[in-house]
Amino acid sequence: MQLQVDVRSPTPHYEQIRAQVTRLVLTGALPAGTRLPPIRQLAGHLGLSNGAVARAYRELEREGTVVTAGKKGTIVADHPTGAPEQDDDVGSPLAAERERALAAAAAEYAATAHRLGCTPEQTRAALDAVLTAELTAGLAR
């Protein structure tokens, strides 16, 4: 798990960790059941206090991204893929991070389509085709 904390940023260290872990979970880079590093280990790796990492883990647990499983440590929660969480209100940190991740993915897709010389219509048509195929595959599961 690659996390980076900008010590000069006005964003609190724990919030930087929480946002990055949430993004990794939402994008599938950290699948359900993945064990996060122990607090002390991650704090040492990032050069932060144990308290900053502990707070990030508490926030992640509060929003339902991770669960604490005793001796197993902190693991990524088991969420149904593509289904919004019950507590995923519009103003929640998870919803906000999902929107940021989606916007970043859309920007990357748009840049790739532009480099390929595709028109906006071709770009939308390709996206619609993939979405339709995903929806069809999801209903068949």
Report pLDDT digits (tens) over 45-89.
Answer: 999 999 999 999 999 999 889 999 888 899 999 864 444 444 456
Contact 3/20 with Cβ under 8 angstroms?
Answer: yes
Instruction: Give domain status of residue 22, yes or no.
Output: yes
Can you give the pLDDT at residue 83?
A: 43
Confidence (pLDDT) at 82 = 44
Q: What is the pLDDT of residue 35?
A: 95
| Angle at alpha carbon of residue 42, lines to 105 and 103, rounded to 5° | 10
3 inside domain? no
Q: Which CATH number goes with the domain that contains 45?
A: 1.10.10.10
Residue 8 lies in a domain: no
Residues 6-43: b if buried by 16+ CB within 10 A, e if exposed: eeeeeeebbbbbbbbbbbbbbeeebeeeeebbebeebb
Q: What is the structure's pLDDT at 23? A: 87
**Residue 1 within a domain:** no
What is the structure's pLDDT at 90?
Answer: 63
> Quick check: is 24 in a domain?
yes
Q: Find the domain containing 86 and state its range.
A: 13-140
Structural domain count, the chain: 1
Look up the pTM and report it: 0.65
Q: Residue 69 falls within a domain, yes or no? A: yes
Beta carbons within 8 Å of 19's beta carbon, 6+ residues apart: 93, 97
Higher pLDDT, 104 or 62: 62
Mean pLDDT of 10-18: 94
